[in-house]
A and B are shown apart, each in its own frame.
Chain A
Amino acid sequence: MSMFDIWSGILGGFRITASVTLYGLIFAVPFALVFGVAQYLTTGFARFLVTSVIEFWRSSAVVILLFVFYYALPVVGVTLSAMTVGAMVLGLNTAGYASQAVRAGLQALDRGQKEAGQALGLSRAAILLLIELPQALRAMSPTFINLVIQLVKATSLVSLITLTDMTFRAKEIAQVEYDPVPVYLALLLSYFMVCYPIALFGRWVERSVNPVREASRGI
C-alpha cells in the first residue's frame, strides 16, 4: 500500500471527524454562552447549581463519559446513536472549558463599562448583550479557536464507540498492513492538515473582530 493509498484511506474518515466536530459545536456554543453568562450573573445557590453542571462536564474524563453514555445508558433504556453521544460528550466537555473563557472575559471587563451603561439607563440585559458580551467574546476569540482545535483532536476518541473517523480508519489500515509507522505518520499529518487551517482562520478572525486595536496601532 502506497503512502497515497494509506492517506486516502484515512481521509475517508474525514467526513465523520468533521461531523462530530460540527455537531459538537452545536452542543458547545450555546452551552458555553448560557452557562458562562449564568455563572457571571448568578450568586448563591443558583450559582452553585450552574457551577456544578459546568464542573461535571469539565472535570469528567471524556473517554469514560463516552463509554457511559454509549454502552451503559442503553442498560437503563436510553439509547443514543454513537454520533449523538460523541458530539454531546465532546461538545459539552469543550463547552465546560469555553464557559470559563466566557466568564473570564466578562469579569475582565472594566467595571466602568457596566456603569456607563447603567448611567445611560440601559437595562441589565441590554448591557450584557450590547456592551459586555461583544467585548468579552472578541477578547476571548483566541481561546475559542484553541478550543475548536482541541475539539477536532478530541474527536479521535469517537473511534472507541464504533464511529469510523480518521483514527478508526488508521487503526483498520494499520491492522491490515502490519506496519503502523507510516499509517500513524499519515494520521498525524491528517489532523495537522485539518487543524492548521483552523488556526489560520482564527488569526484572521482575531484581526477582523479587532479593527480598532489594529487601527490604533497605526497611530
Chain B
Amino acid sequence: MSSSTAMTAMNLRFQKDSLCMQDPRQNLAVEIDALHKWYGAFHVLKGIDLRVAHGSRIVICGPSGSGKSTLIRCLNGLEAYRQGTIMLDGTRLGEDAVQTALARRQTGMVFQNFNLFPHLSVLANCTLALRRVAGMARTEAEALAHHYLEKVRIPEQAHKYPAQLSGGQQQRVAIARALCMSPRLMLFDEPTSALDPEMIREVLDVMTELAHDGMTMICVTHEMGFAREVADEVVFMDQGSIVEQAVPATFFSAPSHPRARNFLSTLLH
C-alpha cells in the first residue's frame, strides 16, 4: 500500500469516528469550572476557571509552584482533582473510566522530559499507541508516523533510538508521537525547559507551525517570545490561582496584577 492511500484510509477512519460524536464545534475545547486540588494539606489549585475555544492557543505561565503544571496534568487525567469540573469537548473528565479514556484519546501531551520510550526506536515510539490503542495495521501506522516525523522535520531519524538523538530532536519525536493519535487538543508541559538554548528554537518552530495549522494548544512555558507570537491568550498563575488572563499585547505591555508585573520583570532581566 502506498503511503498516500494509507493516509486517506486514516483520514476516513478519523472522520467516521468524529461523526459518531456530537459536533465538536458546538462545545468549547476545554471548560474548567471551579477546579480545586490538594496535595495532602497543600491547596495547589484554588478554584480555577478557564475556557478554551477550539483552535485557540493558550500560554500558561507563572512562577514555579504556582500550579500550572498540575493544572495541565489534570486536563488529561494524569492528576485527579477533588472539586470542580473539567469538560473536554463536552465530555466530563473523571466521571467514569470509559469517558475519561475517550477524552484522553483526543488529547495529546508533550512532557518537559520528553518521556520517549528508550527501548523502542523513534518509529516504534510513534506507532505503539496507533497499533495498540487505535488498532491500526503496521503499514498504516508506519505511514502515519512517517508523515508526522516529516512534519517535525526528522524523518531520517525514524530507525534510531531516543538515546541517539539530541534533546531537541527527542522533543520533536515526542510531539510527532502525540500527533499520531490525531488529538483535538495538544498539551505542552514546559516543552523546552529541559533543552539547551540552541535546541529550544527548533522545538518552538514546530510548535508555531502546529499553531498555524489550527491546533488547539495549551502550553505551559516561559518562552515569552513564543507567547507573544503564537498565543491568543496568556494566563498568569500564582499560588494556585489565575491572577491575570489577557491577550499577549495587553499582558506584556500593561500587566494589571503586581505579581504578573514582578514575574515579567524577573524574566526580562
Contact = CB atoms under 8 A, between A and B. Distances in A.
Interface in B107-121: 107-109, 111, 113, 115-119
Interface stretch (A3-11, A119-127, A194-202): A119-127
A41 interface: no
A118 B77 contact: yes
B104 interface: yes
Nearest to B129: A120
Contact of A121 (B104, B118, B163, B174): B104
Contacts of A112: 111, 113, 115
A110 interface: yes
B218 interface: no
Contact of A215 (B105, B116, B117, B163): B163
Contact of A134 (B108, B111, B119, B177): B119
Contacts of B50: none
B41 interface: no
Interface in A50-71: none
A110 B161 contact: no
B133 interface: yes
Contact of B76 (A119, A130, A135, A213): A119
A130 B128 CA distance: 9
Given A120-B177, A122-B132, A215-B163, A115 B115 contact: yes
Contacts of A215: 161, 163-164
B217 to A, nearest CB: 15
A23 to B, nearest CB: 31
Interface residues of B, number: 28
Contacts of A219: 164
A150 interface: no
A216 interface: yes
A131 interface: yes
Contacts of B104: 118-119, 121
Contacts of A211: 161
A111 to B, nearest CB: 9
A184 to B, nearest CB: 45
Q: Which among A118, A120, A215, A216 has the greatest number of chain B C-beta atoms within 10 A?
A: A120
B181 interface: yes
A138 interface: yes
A118 to B, nearest CB: 6
B141 to A, nearest CB: 13
B78 A216 contact: no
Contacts of B181: 120-121
Contact of A116 (B77, B115, B164): B115
B80 interface: no
B119 A138 contact: yes
A135 B163 CA distance: 14
Contacts of B117: 113, 116, 131, 135
A212 interface: yes
A126 B131 CA distance: 11
A135 B162 CA distance: 14
B178 interface: yes
A164 to B, nearest CB: 44
A119 B109 contact: yes
A213 B161 CA distance: 9
Nearest to B79: A115
Interface string B158-188: 0001111000000000100110010000000
B101 interface: yes
Contact of A113 (B76, B78, B115): B115
Given A115-B78, A215-B164, A121 B133 contact: yes
Contacts of A121: 101, 104-105, 129, 133, 181
Q: Which among A119, A135, A138, A215 has the greatest number of chain B C-beta atoms within 10 A?
A: A119
B24 to A, nearest CB: 18
A216 B111 contact: no
Contacts of B105: 121
Interface of A: 110, 112-113, 115-116, 118-122, 126, 130-131, 134-135, 138, 211-213, 215-216, 219
22 contacts: A110-B113, A112-B111, A112-B115, A116-B115, A118-B78, A118-B104, A119-B76, A119-B78, A119-B111, A119-B178, A120-B177, A120-B181, A121-B105, A131-B117, A138-B119, A211-B161, A212-B119, A212-B162, A213-B163, A216-B161, A216-B164, A219-B164
Interface of B: 76-78, 101, 104-105, 107-109, 111, 113, 115-119, 128-129, 132-133, 161-164, 174, 177-178, 181
